[in-house]
Each structure stands twice: as structure tokens, then as C-alpha cells.
Amino acid sequence: MATNRLLAHSRRVLPRAPAASRASWIGTLKVADLSVPVKAFSTIDSNSASQLCHVHRGCGHRISYCKTCSVHGAVTAEEIGKAYQYSNDCLVELSHDELAELTPTDDKTIKLERFFPGDQLDLALLAGRSLFLSPASLAAGPAFALIRAALEEKQMWALGQTVLSQRLHLVVVHPAEGALLLHTLHDPLARRACVPLNTNGTSPSRTSVRTLSKVIDKASGPFDLSGYHDDSGDKLLSLIQSKLTPADPNRNKHPVANRNANDQELPRRRKLAKAA
């Protein structure tokens, strides 16, 4: 079935997790003198991945970790501070107030400052967090639609800055799916240079290039992910489900499964995985 989907010539829309029901950020989108109240919603269902916890093997009870000082032993959360290690075994402690002074002022504003063709973006700078932006209210709809329409007409992406999680982030914004999509970027100065290539300065022959080009041509087509799915979560859920079946004679010997597995959540996740 997966092979048949891969061979489909038309671009297909994949089943997706439900849209986020709660905004993860609320603020203002600003372009020059135009300010629009917006809400930001996560593009990825981070809860869809199955997570495991540590337990005592054979006992089944969860492992707890105690934070300790190498001199004074166990410490409470209130006693834990932050420090910077500047050489081996040498630390400089920083107070909460000192660190607070370094935190950028958060005015809850995404400031779009530059505009560029999207294909010029260095994909290596994508930091892995993406958010859908939508109008925060019906009244904000027309101004939001104006920004989106202008970007779409000019076929441009916007570069800007905003504060997220108490850090100043470089972001790009572009039209997508009737909304605007925001991506956070890494600091450009953190971008590494490419490693030296061990090619000995040789160039491939034209014949070999043409041969491989034919292979590429045969597998070329619209961007389609319908034949790809990480099934590791499905396999894990199947394993857990098998341990929860009444026919399992050792069911009551699995305290972790009995306490922590959510019998209603497992079928929902399996249904979502099958739909994909």
C-alpha cells in the first residue's frame, strides 16, 4: 500500500493531527506602522510521540532523582542557582537578579523588518520551532489579510525578531495554508562552515552524471510524503497494548502499565497513526 501511494502522480494531502486548540503565544505582528493583534499556534503535535519513563527493573516503580551538592548532599529547588564554568572545576556563580538584567524586554511583538525571496533562506538556520499565526479577533482579520496578501503578491518572506521563552529570536514569516507561518532561526554566527570535501579535486564523467540523472528522473514528481511514516510509535503502542490485554496472565504484575497507561489515550493515538 505504501508503495502504491509513493507511485501516485498527483500531490496528496496527508491526514493531519487536529489543529491546536489553544494559542501558545498572543501578541502583535508589526510591519512598519501597521500593527495587528495575532495568536500563535503550534504546527506540531508534540504529544503524539510515545514517551517512556525510568523504572526499577523487576520492581516496576518509577525512579526518582535527587539533586545533590558534592559537598553538602541533597539540596532543595530553592537552593539551586546557576553558574558558568570558565575552566576545569572553576565556576562563577550568577545571581537571579544578575541574569534577569540580561533578559530582553518582551513587548509581545513580532517585528518584520526585511523582505526576501523564500528560496534564499539558508535551511541550515531553521531552529525547529514553527507556529501558525492567525488574527487574534475578527476586528484584526482585515489587517492580517492585508499583510498576507502583500507577501503573497510580492512572493516574499519576511525577516524579523521577537522574544519567545525569554530569549530574542530571529524569525521568518511567510504565507501558508491561508494563514502565516513563523519559523525560528538559529543565530547566523553559530552557522558552521561546510567540512572539507574528500574528492581529491576530481570531477565525475558526463556519462556517470547522465546515468544517475536518469535514476533521478524516474523517481521525480510532486513533493509527496504519503508513503513515509515513522512507525516506531505504532510498534511501541502495540507492545504496550499487548501488555494491557485481559488475556495476559502477567497483567497484574506490570504495575507501571496498570498505573500509567491511559486506556482511552492509546486507542486515540493508534487511530491517528493509522490515518496517517
DSSP code per residue over 75-122: --GGG--EEEEEETTEEEEE-HHHHHHHSPP--SEEEEEEEE-GGGS-
Asked if 185 contacts 116 with a C-beta cutoff of 8 angstroms, the reply is no
With cut-offs at 50, 70 and 90, classify the pLDDT of residue 41: very high
Q: What is the pLDDT of residue 3?
A: 33
Q: What is the pLDDT of residue 246?
A: 67
pLDDT in tens, 96-118: 999 999 999 999 999 999 999 99
Question: In this predicted structure, which of 158-162, 222-226, 256-260 has the lowest mean pLDDT?
Answer: 256-260
Q: What is the pLDDT of residue 240?
A: 87
Domain boundaries of the chain, sorted by first residue: 15-44+103-188, 232-275
Question: In this predicted structure, which of 12-16, 43-47, 161-165, 218-222 has the lowest mean pLDDT?
Answer: 12-16
Q: What is the pLDDT of residue 2?
A: 35
Q: Would you say domain 15-44+103-188 falls under CATH 2.40.290.10?
A: yes
pLDDT in tens, 55-64: 999 998 999 9
Q: What is the pLDDT of residue 230?
A: 84
Q: What is the pLDDT of residue 4?
A: 35
Q: Mean of the pLDDT values across residues 75-79?
A: 93
pLDDT in tens, 201-221: 788 999 999 999 999 999 999
Q: What is the pLDDT of residue 273?
A: 53
Distance separating alpha carbons of residues 10 and 221, to the nearest angstrom: 8
Q: What is the pLDDT of residue 174?
A: 98
CA nearest to 165, candidates 192, 134, 191, 127: 127
**HSE of 23, CA atoms in CB hemisphere, 13 A:** 12
SS3 253: helix
Q: What is the pLDDT of residue 272?
A: 55
DSSP state of 251: G
CA nearest to 31, candidates 118, 99, 164, 133: 133
Distance separating alpha carbons of residues 54 and 61, to the nearest angstrom: 9
pTM of the model: 0.75
- What dihedral do alpha carbons 185, 188, 189, 190 form, nearest 10°? 40
Set of cell numbers at residue 73:
548532599
pLDDT in tens, 169-200: 999 999 999 999 999 999 999 999 999 888 78
Asked if 133 contacts 180 with a C-beta cutoff of 8 angstroms, the reply is yes
Give me the chain's average pLDDT, please. 85
Distance separating alpha carbons of residues 8 and 221, to the nearest angstrom: 9
CA nearest to 179, candidates 42, 22, 46, 18: 42
**Pairing mode of beta strands 109-116, 25-31:** parallel
Residue 171: which H helix or E strand, with range?
Answer: strand 167-176
Question: What is each CA distance from 198 to 77, 203, 209, in whole angstroms?
Answer: 50, 12, 19
